[in-house]
Amino acid sequence: MIASESHTVADASRCQAALQAAMESVEPVAPDRWRGRPKDSSAPPLLVQLRDGFLLLAGTFSPGTPPSRWDLLKVNASLTGLVKFSSNLDGDLSLRAEIPVEAESNVSLRLDQACRAFAAAQHLTLDPNENPVTVTPEVAPPDLAKLVEAAGWQCSSRRADRCAVLLDTRRGAHTASLTAQAGTVRVSTELASWDSLPTPGREGLSALLLTANARLRLARAIVAEDESGGAAQLEVLFEAPVSAAELRSALEALSVGADLCAPVVDILQHEEAAKLFLAIRGGPRNSEDSQQTTERKL
């Protein structure tokens, strides 16, 4: 057995043990694929796969009244456990999470957090102000600069509870902001201010980003609001503690996400281009007729 195959077998064994501890039942369907039922009955059954160094989890989301893509991106900012709402190209909605499976990563802890978040997501309202982020009891905030250095990156600027890191992107410069507060470590980068977007641009951007959530590993697209306005962002939100390997995966994920999304985001800021994008991709909501197929397609 070659080294890479041995490593994959060991990871699969570790993941299966973590799944069995976190879930009510686990059914292996292949050496690296499982069907799992979380202990909380309000959480959806999950399809789980080990691929490319991540444990991928996917569950259905079939609300009675399909929410707008924009609302789902706002609610994404309220979810913990690395969970996110996403959409496929047909508009079918799902809940997903990706957990890094590196040796330093605590897969059991992250899986337990994800299962709780999958259950909580089923009860979220569409008002993000009513969905405060809740985490496990606080631990001492990490020294972000030291954590970034241990991950093999460098802070370009820092404050006590904040650190900026220049991402490894090929299509323009993008900076990630790291913050540690309320028992979480958040890594994010801004894609666009919605104040600068025409209405078609906002609709096109929400379609793009919700679909990107189904393709990006670890990172998720959100819409963040504060007193200064709102912005579309990519983020990774960890519940503390965070390992250097997890932070490295997060910065790599944001670099890939920014490279993939930013060029299209720039185009969508032009109203006529956004209208053309929507004509090809689909309007504000085109998923109502396909909701009943979500579970089958997952």
Domain map (residue ranges) of the chain: 3-284
pLDDT for the residue numbered 158 = 78
What is the mean pLDDT for each group of 10 consecutive residues in the chain (298 residues)? 56 93 95 94 92 94 79 91 90 92 88 93 63 57 92 86 92 92 92 80 88 95 81 94 95 96 87 86 50 37
- 61: which 2 tokens? 């989301």
What's the pLDDT score for residue 133? 52
Q: Residue for token digits 């200064």?
A: 228
What are the helix (H) ranges across 132-198? Answer: 144-150
Q: Give the pLDDT score at 107.
A: 93
- Backbone dihedral region for residue 229 (phi beyond 0: left; psi -120 to 50: alpha; all else: beta): left
241: which 2 tokens?
Answer: 């503690």
What CATH number belongs to 3-284?
3.30.1460.10
- Token pair 């959530």 is found at 213
Distance CA 30, CA 222 (A): 33
Closest among 126, 127, 122, 133 to 60, alpha carbons compared: 122
Which of 116, 263, 244, 114 is CA-nearest to residue 191? 263
pTM: 0.86
pLDDT at 228: 67
